[in-house]
Amino acid sequence: GDSVTQMEGPVTLSEEAFLTINCTYTATGYPSLFWYVQYPGEGLQLLLKATKADDKGSNKGFEATYRKETTSFHLEKGSVQVSDSAVYFCALKRETSYDKVIFGPGTSLSVIP
Amino acid sequence: DAGVIQSPRHEVTEMGQEVTLRCKPISGHNSLFWYRQTMMRGLELLIYFNNNVPIDDSGMPEDRFSAKMPNASFSTLKIQPSEPRDSAVYFCASSLAGQGYQPQHFGDGTRLSIL
């Protein structure tokens, strides 16, 4: 079945460091891919998305490129801030499903000043 | 704009009691999802509805759990009887299906503690 794998956390970085969170997926067909972010005490919210191969999603300085050949969608940011501390979820949605999203296990990020 | 509204935000009760969690989706959304989040199992999809009809309830853990969506603006998740292992944060999310990819909008969750 469909699945999403993420690098294990927690990840701790200093402010202004470069961030990479790895994500790989298994799915039939051509899924859409997403990154969601969960801040403490809140629900998940969409950070960025990519709907086809080689698409790059970007938002708030975060980027991720849909790589079909490696079935990956790694999240990157050039310079993290303390306010980026959160849990990040990689996710996919198959084109044939209603609107069901398969979430990865989440990666916790802590950014220290 | 009002987002997804869940109530209560926190619930503490004794095992064996009935628990009812409530969700008001975003107006106009036609899909609604119930998730459970724990440290051990992460985020689990319990059930989802499309146009008020349950589409997939394969994630509902057992018969003690039930969910209803009597109309487009309200859904409940009920646990009866509750057990300590049901302690978790329960999220409701809604989206507008059928128009390309529309993101799921999550509520702030109900933190449930069963003593």
Could you tell me if A109 and A86 are in contact, meaning their C-beta atoms sit under 8 angstroms apart?
A: yes
Q: Long-range contact list for A10-13, CB < 8 A, 24+ apart? A: A10/A107, A10/A108, A10/A109, A10/A110, A11/A107, A11/A108, A11/A109, A11/A110, A12/A109, A12/A110, A12/A111, A12/A112, A13/A80, A13/A109, A13/A110, A13/A111, A13/A112
pLDDT of the residue at B94? 94
Contact A49/B at CB under 8 A:
yes
CA atoms within a 13 Å half-sphere pointing along the CA-CB vector of B105: 20
Say yes or no: B31 contacts chain A, CB-CB below 8 A.
yes
> How much is the average pLDDT of B64-89?
96
Q: Residue A36's pLDDT is what?
A: 97
Nearest-Cα residue of chain B relative to residue A34: B103
Chain A: closest CA distance from residue B55 (Å): 9
Interface mutation vs chain A, best among B1, B101, B111, most A CBs within 10 Å: B101
Report the pLDDT averaged over residues B29-44.
92
DSSP chain B: ----EEE-SEEEE-TTS-EEEEEEPPTT--EEEEEEEETTTEEEEEEEEETTEEEE-TT--STTEEEEEEETTEEEEEESS--GGG-EEEEEEEE-TTSS----EE---EEEEE-
| Interchain contact, A45 vs B55, CB within 8 Å | no
Contacts of B105 in chain A (CB under 8 A): 45
Separation of alpha carbons B92 and B68, rounded Å: 13
Q: What is the pLDDT, as a whole number, of residue A77? A: 98
Which pLDDT score is estimated for B2? 82
> How far does A69 lie from chain B, in Å, by closest CA?
22
Give me the residue from B48, B102, B107 closest to A100, CB to CB: B48
Mark yes or no for CB contact A99/B50 under 8 Å: yes
In this complex, do B56 and A106 lie within 8 Å of one another by their Cβ atoms? no
Burial (CB count within 10 angstroms: exposed 0-12, middle 13-18, buried 19+), residue B18:
exposed
* Residue range A43-70, pLDDT digits in tens: 999 999 999 999 999 999 999 999 999 9
Query: What percent of chain B is predicted at pLDDT more than 90?
Result: 83
Instruction: Find out whether the peptide bond into B81 is cis, omega within 30 degrees of 0.
Output: yes
Tell me which residues of chain A have a pLDDT lower than 70: 96-99
Chain B: closest CA distance from residue A41 (Å): 7
Q: What mean pLDDT do residues B63-82 have?
A: 96
pLDDT at A98: 67
Name the residue type at position A63. Answer: E
Q: Is B52 on the interface with A (CB under 8 A)?
A: no
User: Which residues in chain A have Cβ-Cβ distances shorter than 8 Å to B103?
Assistant: 34, 46, 49
Predicted confidence at residue A95, as pLDDT, reads 72
Residue B1 has pLDDT above 70, yes or no: no
CA distance B25 to B33: 9
Tokens coding A12: 């701790």
Find the length of chain B: 115
Query: Taking Cα atoms as reference points, which of A78, A82, A80 lies closest to residue A63?
Result: A78
